[in-house]
């Protein structure tokens, strides 16, 4: 028996889902934040639930999320939602979790929320995780070179290169590496204007 996979969300569907998660206060805060991380940063729920408070970095008015290198900037409406979630995280009132560092604390002592449980909850509010991740990574690859996306989001570069080829991304000739320094033994050519 073959399991049918839902294709990635269209960009319009992804943006509509993002908008709903940012504005619909009827959806529990932890689901809104987890869903936004998936829809913006293409993170699997197994990684989302392993995020800690230390992975959210505040630098003045800027909020960054540690997913890979470099840190990923968090847009202001998402940053406000994320910071509100941190202030009011669920599962913190139990005797076993008062000092939990998990961004999404679970009910069991010292454990984060389970990814399968979180996936089921997100599906109930209309966020199909696999389709959402697929849409998010493909959008990233249309905007940035595959090696940059791989480093920033913690993906393997072969995965992002394969997905870039599938989506028809325009960065196929991007040369990964440190472009800030010259190759050994290379000196710039000088032109005499006189």
**86-144 confidence digits (pLDDT tens):** 998 865 565 566 678 899 988 877 889 999 999 999 999 999 999 998 888 888 888 87
Q: Write the CA distances from 39 to 2, 8, 9, 15, 190, integer angstroms.
A: 27, 11, 10, 8, 48
Mean pLDDT of all residues belonging to the chain: 80
Domain parsing of the chain, residue ranges: 11-132
Which tokens in the block code for residue 168? Answer: 């028809």
The H-or-E segment that residue 14 falls in is helix 11-23
Instruction: Report the CATH number of the 11-132 domain.
Output: 1.10.443.10
26-35, 51-60, 98-107: least confident range: 98-107
- What confidence score (pLDDT) does residue 188 get? 47
First to last CA, the chain: 77
* Chain centroid to CA 66: 9
> Is the per-residue pLDDT at 145 higher than 90?
no
Per-residue pLDDT, averaged over 4-20, amounts to 85
72-73/62-65 β-pairing: antiparallel
Closest CA to 164 of 179, 148, 177: 148
- The pLDDT tens digits for 80-93 are 999 999 998 865 56
Residue that wins the pLDDT comparison between 135 and 165: 135
| pLDDT band at 186; cut points 50, 70, 90 | very low
**Angle (nearest 5°) at CA 48 between 42 and 50:** 145
* Strand blocks (E) in the chain: 56-59, 62-65, 72-73
């Amino acid at each position: 028996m073959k399991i049918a996979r839902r294709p990635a969300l269209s960009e319009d569907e992804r943006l509509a889902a993002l908008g709903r998660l940012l504005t619909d206060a009827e959806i529990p805060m932890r689901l809104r934040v987890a869903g936004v991380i998936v829809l913006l940063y293409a993170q699997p729920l197994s990684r989302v639930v392993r995020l800690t408070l230390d992975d959210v970095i505040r630098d003045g008015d800027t909020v960054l999320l540690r997913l890979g290198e470099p840190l990923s900037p968090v847009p202001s409406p998402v940053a406000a939602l994320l910071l509100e979630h941190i202030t009011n995280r669920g599962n913190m009132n139990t005797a076993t979790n008062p000092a939990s560092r998990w961004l999404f604390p679970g009910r069991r002592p010292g454990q984060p929320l389970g990814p399968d449980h979180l996936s089921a909850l997100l599906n109930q509010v209309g966020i199909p995780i696999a389709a959402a991740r697929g849409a998010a990574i493909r959008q990233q690859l249309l905007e940035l070179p595959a090696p940059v996306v791989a480093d920033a989001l913690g993906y393997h570069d072969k995965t992002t290169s394969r997905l870039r080829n599938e989506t028809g991304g325009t960065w196929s000739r991007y040369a990964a590496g440190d472009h800030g320094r010259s190759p050994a033994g290379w000196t710039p050519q000088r032109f005499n204007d006189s």
